[in-house]
Amino acid sequence: MTIQAQILDELRQLREQSGAGIILVTHDLGVVADIADRVVVMYAGRVVEQGTLEELFYDPQHPYTWGLLGSITRVDSDRTLRLPAIAGMPPSLLRPPQGCHFRPRCPHAFAKCKEIPPLRATLPAAPEHVDRCWLDRERKQRLRMVDGRIGLAAEPAVVT
Ligand code: SF4
């Protein structure tokens, strides 16, 4: 952790001195929270969500992003429970699933998900916050809350 913090400091200094942008590829959301201004979430070769750091962490729109956020370990978690994880395995990129690539692992999938969702903005107040999911905003706000925090439900949800 100490070395990681030193490297992130170094990157920040280089960014300020050079004025350049940095693209950092990571699965570590702690690193993302520490250094990123904008975040692009990718799944199986496609961008599934993109927005500012605040948009992604506080108002995530895609179930895969919910799963990533829900998998973060917390010091106040119940230690007798298993750590949350996204069920299933990443798909083969040689034979990806039809439609939404996250469909086989998504507990909220429904018939429309066999079509490829477009990357689009659905929030009028945040036109650059885009995601690739067919669920409407009201359903997303309801489904992303798992045990009082943002996460991905382990069991299939009843989606009407
Ligand atoms: S609800 Fe459908 S479109 Fe949205 S992430 Fe799940 S499978 Fe993909």
Q: Residue 113 CA: which ligand 1 atom is closest?
A: 2
**Domain annotation covers residue 126:** yes
Whole-prediction pTM: 0.91
102 ligand 1 Cβ < 6 A: yes
In a domain, 80, yes or no: yes
The pLDDT tens digits for 18-46 are: 999 999 999 999 999 999 999 999 999 99
In a domain, 115, yes or no: yes
Q: Is the CB of 48 under 6 A from ligand 1?
A: no
Distance of CA 75 to the CA centre of its chain: 21
Residue 37 domain flag:
yes
Q: Which amino acid is at 14?
A: L
CATH number at residue 101: 3.40.50.300
| In a domain? residue 14 | no
**From the CB of 66, is ligand 1 less than 6 Å away?**
no
Residue 92 makes CB contacts below 8 A (sequence gap 6+) with none
DSSP state string for 17-69: HH--------S-HHHHHHH-SEEEEEETTEEEEEEEHHHHHHS--SHHHHHHH
Range of the domain at 135: 2-9+20-150
Distance between Cα 38 and ligand 1 center (Å): 23
Domain assignment present for residue 157? The answer is no
Query: Is residue 160 in some structural domain?
Result: no
Encode the chain (160 residues) as per-residue pLDDT tens digits.
Answer: 899 999 999 999 999 999 999 999 999 999 999 999 999 999 999 999 999 999 999 999 999 999 999 998 888 888 888 888 899 999 999 999 999 999 999 999 999 999 999 999 988 899 999 999 999 999 999 999 998 899 998 865 444 4
